[in-house]
Each structure stands twice: as structure tokens, then as C-alpha cells.
Amino acid sequence: MKVDKKQFFLIFFFSLAISAQAPSVRIIFENNKIVLIEDFWVKESGFYLAMDELSGKLKLTPVFSKDEQWLFVKIHNQLVTVDLKKNKAVIGEIPISFNGVIKENGKWYISEDFLPQVYARQGVKIAIEKPILNHNAELSSFPEKFKKDLIDVIVIDPGHGGINFGANTTSGWREKDLTLKLALKLGSRLRGAKGLNVYLTREDDRHLSLEERSDFANRVGADLFISLHINGFSSETVRGFETYFLSLKASDEESRRLAMLENLEFSGLNGNQNQPVNGGFSELELILGDMAQNQHLSESEAFAKTIQNHLGQIMEIPNRGVKQAPFKVLMGANMPAVLVEVGYLTNPDDLHNITDPKVQDKIVYALATSVLEWKKLKTKQLGMKESYDTKGTGK
């Protein structure tokens, strides 16, 4: 690792404080395989990983053109072409946007946001965990879970899927389709933002258990978890949007009913989620399941308020506020986690609104703005900007 000289000793001692090893960038695969990269640069624009170390450890086969204009890398049998002069890359003919490549002391380094995108194109999800570099804060003030406070991994969870339709109408609208549409739009919007790794729990119409969703978020080291839903009710007069965070006790009877419905894994089987039913979980599950999310409740509440506030600025349907209920999908999440109900499928005006692509874009804008605002707030609280090597001279 190379950073500014002045930072060296603090980083060195801080590294000792968190582990006995040299700082390294961790590449975490879905099967929990972890690859450590020790040769990297830290620049204002982010982390850059040594091509030769990546090649050896990930079995890539990089070939540089003689004029050093092109780099060809084979990853999982797919050829990625990188234009080293223009900092652009394509897989086949599809462009990838990433921070770029740098050459230091005759060696090539590639920005860390490159790999997740290349792997994602091939259906492989990876997370990049970066070491903490901060020379401003007192060493003793670093909490144990310092890494958790950095916002760089976002998981979006489109509610329901596969045999689980979620709320649905006789006219054929299904919650699972609309949540997927919103999640895909939100995903591509956030992927364009610098310094974010964005994952969806599903990118097609498939069934996932509620545990699989929060487990996935934990595995990729998510810093925020957003579960997207659309409400339904037996009376079509009920309408509006609301954002939830976890509580064992529901804010009101309606929230309790909703949590029970959302906690049903196979609501699609009986065709209609809109009828109140007795669903849920045992008392033991409630107590055990609550533990992971318990540590993040105040942040989940603050993030829920941020979302509800931004949605409130653009939505033309009633604002039902921030509420609490025992949602199973939030319980196992070991990070701030919220569940957004963007409206009622069973109310004609809400339905007209949330099925309109223009309104969907506005919803996505409000959610993306909430994430970016949250990231900015957390980064500022940590004084992270000062930690980068702004000169870029290294060593």
C-alpha cells in the first residue's frame, strides 16, 4: 500500500490496532471466498489495485499492447478490453464505467470499482472491502465496527417474486413486477454514482425467502438495505406511501396487519395477499431475529425519515409517515434497513400513479437522493475526505 508519508505512522499503528496484518483490500465472493490485495494505491478518486497481483490471485490473463494503448483481460472466459489512454473499457461491445487505470513506478493499477462490474456482467457478485485510512481521528476513538459506518455497499430488495406475487389486482397488476421494475431503475441510477457498489437481491422474477434477502445483504457487507414494496388492502379507499423500520411492536393495527402479510413467504399461492390472514412467526424467532437489526434501529429510523422526506417532496399521493412494524425481512439485517411501501395497488389513484413510468422515475430519484444524502452525511461525520492522498505522489 502506498499513501502520503505523513499518514504512514498513524496508518501503521492503526493497522496494528485492528489487526496484526498489513492493510489490504479484500475481494469477497458470494461463496465467502476472500482474496487479499496488498499492493494498491489510495488516491482522492479511490483505491487502485495492482494488475499483476490481481492477475496472479484471480487467475486473470492480462495482455498489454506494445504501445501501451490497450489492455486485454480475460475474466471468466470473457474478454474485457481496456483503453489505457482514454480510461474506458468494454465487455464485448458493452461499455463499463469505472474510475480508470493509473501507472505508478512502471506498474499498472486499476480502480476497485472495475471488478464488481465485470463480474456482475457474468452473474457473479463480489464485494470490495477497503481498509480504513484516517489520520484525523484519535486511534482510541475508532469503534470496533468502524468499517460498518462507511457507506459504499447498497442492497436493494425488490419485494416478493416467483410464486409470491405480493399484493395484486383483478386487472393483473402484481406487486412483485412493480417492485422489480423500481429496483432495477434504482439500481442503475445508483450504479452511476461514484464510490457505490450496488446489489439487488433479485434481478428477475424469482422466489427468495425473507432470510435469503437479509443474509445476502449481510454477506456482501451492505451498509444500507432497502426493501421495496407496494401495499394492498381489502378496501380501495386506503392509500398513500410510508416507510418502515423494525420494531417488535407495530405502530398501529394497520402496520401490524401489513407486517403479517409481508412476512408470508408464499402469499402468491392463495392468489391474493390483500385479505387479512394469520401469518408470521414464533415468539422465539422474534427475539432471536431481532438481535442483528437491534443495533441499527436509530440509524434505520433516521434513514427511514430521510426517505419519507424525499418521497414527500415528489409524491402526489398521501404521506402516511414513518412507521414501525415487525417485518421479518428487516430482522436479520446487520445494517440500517428500511422497508418502503410506495403506495396502494388496491387504490385506483395510487395504482394510476405508481404504474406511470414518469412517477416511477421520480420515486427512484427520491430514493437515490436519500442514499446519496445519507452517504454524504456519514462520510462527513467520519472526516473521511482528509484521509486521501490528495497529492497523488505516494510513498
Interatomic CA distance for residues 211 and 99, integer angstroms: 34
Which residue type, as a one-letter code, is found at position 1? Answer: M
Interatomic CA distance for residues 369 and 238, integer angstroms: 27
Closer Cβ to Zn ion, 166 or 187, answer by number: 166
Task: Report the 10 Å Cβ neighbour count for 173.
Answer: 18
Partners of 94 in the beta sheet? Answer: 91
Interatomic CA distance for residues 113 and 89, integer angstroms: 12
Q: Kindly report the backbone phi and psi dihedral angles of residue 151, in degrees, each rounded to the nearest multiple of 5, phi listed first.
A: -100, 95
Closer Cβ to Zn ion, 11 or 167, answer by number: 167
Helix (H, G, I), strand (E, B), or coil: what is residue 350?
helix
Q: Which of residues 303-322 bind Zn ion (CB under 5 A)?
A: none
* 3-11, 29-37, 195-203, 221-229 -> range binding Zn ion (CB under 5 A): 221-229
| Dihedral angle over CA of 53, 57, 59, 62, nearest 10 | -10
Closer Cβ to Zn ion, 223 or 262, answer by number: 262
Instruction: Fill in the per-residue mask, 222 to 261: x = in contact with Zn ion (CB under 5 A), - = not in contact.
Output: -------x--------------------------------
Least CB distance from residue 179 to Zn ion, whole Å?
7
159 interacts with Zn ion by CB under 5 A: yes
Closer Cβ to Zn ion, 197 or 243, answer by number: 243
Helix (H, G, I), strand (E, B), or coil: what is residue 49?
strand
43 interacts with Zn ion by CB under 5 A: no
Binding residue count for Zn ion, defined by CB under 5 A: 4
Instruction: Fill in the per-residue mask, 357 to 376: x = in contact with Zn ion (CB under 5 A), - = not in contact.
Output: --------------------
Least CB distance from residue 176 to Zn ion, whole Å?
8
Q: What is the CA radius of gyration of the chain?
A: 23
Q: Which of residues 77-116 bind Zn ion (CB under 5 A)?
A: none
326 interacts with Zn ion by CB under 5 A: no
Closer Cβ to Zn ion, 210 or 371, answer by number: 210
185 interacts with Zn ion by CB under 5 A: no
Closer Cβ to Zn ion, 11 or 339, answer by number: 339
Residue nearest to Zn ion (CB): 229
343 interacts with Zn ion by CB under 5 A: no
Among 166, 232, 289, 326, binds Zn ion (CB under 5 A): 166
For residue 345, give the nearest of 247, 249, 231 by alpha carbon: 231
CA distances from 133 to 14, 15, 142, 362, 375 (A): 8, 9, 11, 36, 17
Least CB distance from residue 372 to Zn ion, whole Å?
25
Is residue 331 within a helix (H) or strand (E), and if so which, with residue range?
Answer: helix 328-331
Closer Cβ to Zn ion, 127 or 315, answer by number: 315
Least CB distance from residue 233 to Zn ion, whole Å?
12
Least CB distance from residue 213 to Zn ion, whole Å?
12
DSSP labels for 103-171? EETTEEEEETTHHHHHHHHTT--EEEEPPP--SSS-GGG--TTGGGGS--EEEEEE--BTTB--SB-TT
Least CB distance from residue 365 to Zn ion, whole Å?
22
Q: Which of residues 256-295 bind Zn ion (CB under 5 A)?
A: 262
Q: Which of residues 136-155 bind Zn ion (CB under 5 A)?
A: none
Closer Cβ to Zn ion, 37 or 345, answer by number: 345
Q: DSSP class of residue 89?
A: E
Least CB distance from residue 162 to Zn ion, whole Å?
13
Q: Kindly report the backbone phi and psi dihedral angles of residue 158, in degrees, each rounded to the nearest multiple of 5, phi listed first.
A: -75, 115
The residues that touch Zn ion, with contacts defined as CB under 5 A, are: 159, 166, 229, 262
